[in-house]
A and B are shown apart, each in its own frame.
Chain A
């Protein structure tokens, strides 16, 4: 890599360098700077000069230092061994960095992203003489006990015929496992590893309509504001409103096959928490460790800012790679605001003309490019897979009118707004039912109705309607006190209150409550609505509301999220039965 000198440093200003004597440098080419071999990327070329952003601390770089070209753009290595690994923003494995430089990260280190010496048990899926084209499966590797890694023909290869294929056996990612005789007469030798430039979306055959929800186990999301597989969502919230907790919960319990968790400019201890916790947690669906489906990228806030900018592209490229194998992948990006700020910082250092609040004018374009890489796709090989993006946004001062939140809102179709008031009263997840929305309601309606005897859409409408009415009633209560309302309206407040504590709130640390299956959600919602319906009927007959809310069954209902086992659906039916019976009973007393 040291051979080709593309130029020499002219000026150093933090992580942005001006390089002179440029001849054949390419845009977005990956470079190494100086004798310390710091990793960088060419971002601008003009008048024999180039602007290079370095992914490491620039201390010590001098004008006159050589800049070495690598001839390719910043790329990631893709192959078996990604799962369960923790990387920095430019795909350096942090565990290997620790072996090399101890507890603190030194500069100028580079390692292979995936272990080139480890052997994997390869099973071929094609025979000599088979016709193959880009995206087809050549063979499989058991990457973890739950992920079967499919070795694909690289996306840009022409069609050809298998000339040689390795038999079942152990191979490293560097061993050749197949030789393809291309139709144009050339031969191509393939290994189990591919490289792909991070800023370029991997090609697919076609986009498919979104139909399935990404089930997260969080009731407020699944039942009220569902996200579709292949969809995009933003979670904005000021500090302390629970963005990271919500992201962790989704990463832990959602029904995606693979999770790519990007800690982009966030706290070091949070990533340690994930590293410590995920291997111990067990997936309720498969009974296996959650780490067996997770790839982590940690570029904490004190790690170099340009690597932070790269980290979300590194993450989404890995996600697309697994999507191409036919998996459903969910990406958590925490937080995209830090990424936008990295853009701003670098743009400022390049002395570009700023737009809103110092952010560069191309901010919306970049946000759009990122979110558009999500989708439910038919891969080149014919299988179907999806990438869903869950992006946290950290608006300064919790003010949703700032540029990153506003531009993100333009390009996502689902919005889970976190509310400080709710967080302060420890109502978690603090997702506001008034600010949030989902445009996927229509897309996933069919699926949900199939899983709820056709009731979901109707029930969701009913409860949303009650919540809206509650807001207006609360305004009145604030002026004149609750006693001024008739019982029929007071009862709406009562039901909404119950709905908030019994349904919307969820305790992430409770063995039962942290994950709520779809069936339980459906039952819980219908028992609460039955309470409203029956209660209202009784009140109209003259029963005072106090009598109803003191019923034992109502107390049971308030605790059902914690007390009823997730697979014990009959218990909720029983609560509903008891509830209806006891309301009928007091109703009967007043009727006569």
Chain B
């Protein structure tokens, strides 16, 4: 044990010691490197790792004690050797240089250039972990974003500053939908300074290519910052990618007054990387082997959205996650749903029936919708109309079940009308083209057209005046 004098000395010297290089790791295990006999190193410090061939990598302190320091290396530990690994502890947390020059650039998960056009210059250094927004400083989001997609605008309205994930599955059209939203999203009456931050975690190259092409086609590419950590990049890099992306988003929104849309795909890959590190460190797992802190960790990402009183910008998050085996109760979609303000749920059966976007509106939800729609925002009849569509469509499902038992012919006339309504709703209201941009008025009128297939007595959630004004017209 060190004496007290030595400790004081160590504290005084810590500043001087940061940046000193140590050689020789004691253990390398997956992305983790253990090192002994260093000066006291702070928790979460940034580490510069030197490989035996002289190349530089970056890492972060995960655990620190008198005996050893555990460092996770974001670029992976391939080619590191025990004696040949060097480390410099930088005495400060992991930061990202941020500036609006990063729009139009393609970067890796750590914010380093990967488009070959030189290094990325920052305007300010920001801690990638961010700090929680004080709830009293938040401004409640209520500005309606028109995505031009009926089922979203009408039934699960997106609000500026919301975090609304897409729960999808492998092989479903979530990328198309995200690209379409990115292309069509607008706040009516107030164009704002709009930009997109795109983070890809562990997705395939073609998927990234699809997004880049789609941004290029519509000419928004100069307003997009891409952080790509693809499927063949080290999995550990994925654990930092969303944080880097959001650090830039915060800068753009709260220092530069921009309206930022953050698209993150695929959050399931991010969680799997976390699980990988957790298992490697011998942590006690909770559900399905995911670490017990998965909820807090996801919250630190998703909660970095919203609006702040007195600042013009906003961060709207559109995370995409694939539900393993289409299971919505899998820990990743489950925990996400508890943090985000609603969810958009894809259904395989609808895609099979040729419906795009294959959104099942019944389990889908937008929690912020209630304050962003109605008179003065969308249209006065919108809240009741949405409510009625939900109720009627949910009854359609019951009727369909019944029909599959007793046959469609045996149904009452009313129930057959419901089936007709259901078909119209799915084929005309939900279904639209990849390049079709519907205004909210078109969407609501389509909704009324669908409801007009039902007798007006069935519309108990709409007021008599609304029925008189819109029904059957």
Chain A contact residues, CB within 8 Å of chain B:
8, 10-14, 18, 20-21, 57-65, 86, 94-95, 97-98, 101-107, 238-240, 263, 265, 267-269, 271-273, 275-276, 298, 300-303, 305, 338, 341-342, 344-345, 348, 351, 354, 357-358, 394, 396-399, 420, 424-426, 477-483, 501, 509, 558-559
A271 x B135 contact (CB < 8 A): yes
Q: Which of these, A21, A106, A265, A509, contacts B131 with CB under 8 Å? A: A106
With a CB–CB cut-off of 8 A, which chain B residues contact A271? 135, 138
Is the pair A61, B42 in contact by a Cβ cutoff of 8 Å? yes
Q: How far is the CA of A345 from the CA of B330 in the complex (A)?
A: 19
Whether B306 lies near A300 (C-beta < 8 A) is no
Residues of B within 8 A of A (CB): 1-2, 7, 10-11, 14, 40-45, 63-66, 93, 127, 129-141, 161, 254, 283-287, 291-293, 295-296, 299-300, 302-304, 306, 308-309, 311, 328-331, 334-335, 337-339, 341-343, 362-363, 365, 367-368, 370-371, 383, 387, 390-391, 394-395, 401-402, 405-406, 410-412, 460
Contact A398 B329 (CB under 8 A): yes
Closest residue to B6 on the A side, CB-wise?
A64
- In the assembled complex, which residues on chain B have CB atoms less than 8 Å from the CB atom of A267? 303, 339, 341
Q: Which of these, A64, A86, A302, A344, contacts B303 with CB under 8 Å?
A: A302
A-B contact count (CB 8 A): 225
Contacts A105-B132, A394-B338 hold; do A358 and B285 have CB atoms under 8 A apart? yes
Measured in the bound complex, the distance between the Cα atoms of B345 and A238 in whole Å is: 15
Q: A107-B131, A271-B138, A345-B292 are in contact. List 19 more A-B contacts (CB 8 A).
A: A12-B42, A12-B64, A59-B44, A61-B43, A63-B40, A97-B134, A102-B137, A103-B133, A103-B134, A240-B337, A240-B363, A300-B135, A302-B300, A305-B293, A345-B293, A348-B292, A424-B394, A426-B394, A481-B402
A269 and B341 within 8 A (CB): yes
A265: chain B residues within 8 A (beta carbon)? 295-296, 299
CA distance A185 to B303 in the complex (A): 57
Instruction: Please measure, in the bound complex, the distance between the C-alpha atom of A482 and the C-alpha atom of B399, giving whole angstroms.
Output: 11
Residue in A closest to B254 when the chains form the complex, CB atoms: A103
Considering the complex, give the chain B residue whose CB is closest to the CB of A35: B11
Q: Which of A13, A107, A268, A345 contacts B63 (CB under 8 A)? A: A13
Q: Smallest Cβ distance from A93 to chain B, in angstroms?
A: 9
Complex interface: chain A residues within 8 A of B134 (CB): 94, 97-98, 101-105
Q: How far is the CB of A510 from chain B (nearest CB, A)?
A: 11
Q: Do residues A424 and B363 form an inter-chain contact, with CB atoms below 8 A?
A: yes
Establish whether residues B286 and A275, one from each chain, have CB atoms under 8 Å apart when the complex forms: no
A559 and B463 CA atoms in complex are apart in Å by 10
CB distance from B168 to the nearest CB of A (A): 17
Q: How far is the CB of B61 from chain A (nearest CB, A)?
A: 9
Cα A130 to Cα B302 in complex, Å, equals 58
Task: Take A358-B286, A397-B334 as given contacts and tell me if A94 and B136 are in contact as well, using a CB distance cutoff of 8 Å.
Answer: yes
Q: Which residue in B133, B286, B363 is a CB contact (below 8 Å) of A104?
A: B133
Contacts of A238 in B (CB 8 A): 334, 337
Q: Quick check: B137 and A301 within 8 Å, CB to CB?
A: no
Q: Please list the 4 inter-chain residue pairs (A to B) with the smallest Cβ-Cβ separation, ordered nearest first.
A: A397-B329, A301-B299, A11-B65, A59-B44
Q: How far is the CA of A268 from the CA of B134 in the complex (A)?
A: 8
Residues from chain A with Cβ under 8 Å of B133 in the complex: 103-105, 268, 302
Instruction: Report how far A301 CA is from B391 CA in the complex, Å.
Output: 32
Q: Are B44 and A58 in contact (CB under 8 A)?
A: yes
Q: Which residues of B contact A60 (CB under 8 A)?
A: 42-45, 93
Say yes or no: B66 contacts A298, CB within 8 Å.
Answer: no
Q: Looking across the interface, which residue of chain A has its beta carbon closest to that of B364?
A: A240
Contacts of B303 in A (CB 8 A): 267-268, 300-302
Contact B331 A396 (CB under 8 A): yes
Is the pair A479, B135 in contact by a Cβ cutoff of 8 Å? no
- Determine the chain A residues whose CB is within 8 A of the CB of B337 once the complex forms: 238-240
- In whole angstroms, how far apart are the Cα atoms of A273 and B368 in the complex? 10
Contacts of A8 in B (CB 8 A): 7
A102 → B minimal CB distance (Å): 7
When the two chains form their complex, are residues A86 and B136 in contact, meaning their CB atoms are under 8 A apart?
yes
Known: A59-B43, A60-B42, A268-B135. A425 touches B304 (CB 8 A): no
B63 touches A64 (CB 8 A): no
Tell whether, in the assembled complex, residue A63 and residue B65 are in contact, meaning their CB atoms are under 8 Å apart.
Answer: yes
Residues of B within 8 A of A59 (CB): 42-44, 93, 127, 129
Tell me whether A273 and B292 are in contact (CB under 8 A): no
- Residues in A with CB closer than 8 Å to B284 are 348, 351, 354, 358
Contact across chains for A103 and B137 when beta carbons are under 8 A apart: yes
Q: Tell me if B370 and A478 are in contact (CB < 8 A).
A: no
Nearest-neighbour CB distance to chain B for A163, whole angstroms, equals 42
A509 to B384, CA, bound (A): 11
Smallest beta-carbon distance A331→chain B, Å: 19
Measured CB to CB, the nearest residue on chain A to B410 is A481
Question: Can you identify 24 A-B contacts, CB atoms within 8 angstroms?
Answer: A11-B64, A11-B65, A11-B66, A57-B129, A60-B42, A62-B42, A63-B65, A65-B11, A65-B40, A103-B137, A105-B132, A105-B133, A240-B337, A269-B138, A271-B138, A272-B138, A273-B371, A301-B302, A301-B303, A301-B339, A344-B292, A348-B291, A396-B334, A424-B390
Complex Cα distance A566/B57, Å? 69
Chain B residue contacts of A358, Cβ below 8 A? 284-287, 292
A509 to B386, CA, bound (A): 14
Tell me how far the C-beta of B255 lies from the nearest C-beta in chain A, rounded to whole angstroms: 11
Q: Which residues of B contact A61 (CB under 8 A)?
A: 42-43
Measured in the bound complex, the distance between the Cα atoms of B132 and A298 in whole Å is: 12
Are B390 and A302 in contact, with the CB atoms below 8 A? no
Q: How long is the Cα–Cα vector from A107 to B129 in the complex, in angstroms?
A: 13
Which residues on B sit within 8 Å (CB–CB) of A345? Answer: 292-293, 296
Q: Which residues of B contact A509 (CB under 8 A)?
A: 370, 383
Contact A301 B65 (CB under 8 A): no
Give complex CA distance A239, B331 in Å.
12
CA distance A344 to B338 in the complex (A): 17
Q: How far is the CB of B26 from chain A (nearest CB, A)?
A: 16
Known: A58-B44, A341-B292, A348-B284. A11 touches B136 (CB 8 A): no
- Chain B residue nearest to A402 (CB atoms) is B287
Assembled-state Cα–Cα distance A509/B370 (Å): 9
Residues of B within 8 A of A341 (CB): 292, 295-296
Minimum CB distance partner of B370 in chain A: A509
CA distance A191 to B131 in the complex (A): 37
Out of A64, A272, A273, A396, name the residue touching B287 (CB < 8 Å): A396
User: How far apart are the CA atoms of A396 and B339 in the complex, in Å?
Assistant: 12
Say whether B401 contacts A478, CB under 8 Å.
Answer: yes
B167 to chain A, nearest CB (A): 11
Q: How far is the CA of A404 from the CA of B283 in the complex (A)?
A: 21
Q: What's the nearest-Cβ distance from chain A to residue B292, in Å? A: 5
Q: Nearest-CB distance from B430 to chain A (Å)?
A: 16
Specify the chain B residue showing the minimal Cβ separation from A555.
B457
Q: Measured between C-beta atoms, what is the minimum distance from B89 to chain A in Å?
A: 10
Of all chain A residues, the one with the shortest Cβ separation from B464 is A559
Query: With the chains together, A263 CA to B300 CA distance in Å?
Result: 16
Q: Output the residue of B7, B311, B411 with the most chain A CB within 10 A.
A: B7
User: How many angstroms between the C-alpha atoms of A238 and B129 in the bound complex?
Assistant: 29
Is the CB–CB distance between B338 and A239 below 8 Å?
A: yes
Q: Which B residue sits closest to A477, measured CB to CB?
A: B402
For residue A86, which residues in chain B have a CB less than 8 angstroms away from its CB?
135-136
Query: Whole-angstrom distance between the alpha carbons of A342 and B11 in the complex?
Result: 32
Residues of A within 8 A of B130 (CB): 104
CB pair A268 B306 closer than 8 Å: yes
Most buried by B among A98, A305, A424, A479: A424
Rounded to whole Å, the gap between the CB of B448 and the closest CB of chain A is 18
Most chain B beta-carbon contacts within 10 A, residue among A20, A303, A558: A303
Residues of A within 8 A of B383 (CB): 509
A294 to chain B, nearest CB (A): 14
**Distance in Å: Cβ of B445 to nearest Cβ of chain A:** 21
Chain B positions within 8 Å of A483 at CB level: 410, 412
Q: A12-B43, A62-B41 are in contact. Are A481 and B135 (CB under 8 A)?
A: no
CA distance A550 to B291 in the complex (A): 58
Q: Once the chains are docked, how many angstroms separate the CA of A14 from the CA of B350?
A: 44
- B387 neighbours in A (Cβ, 8 Å): 426
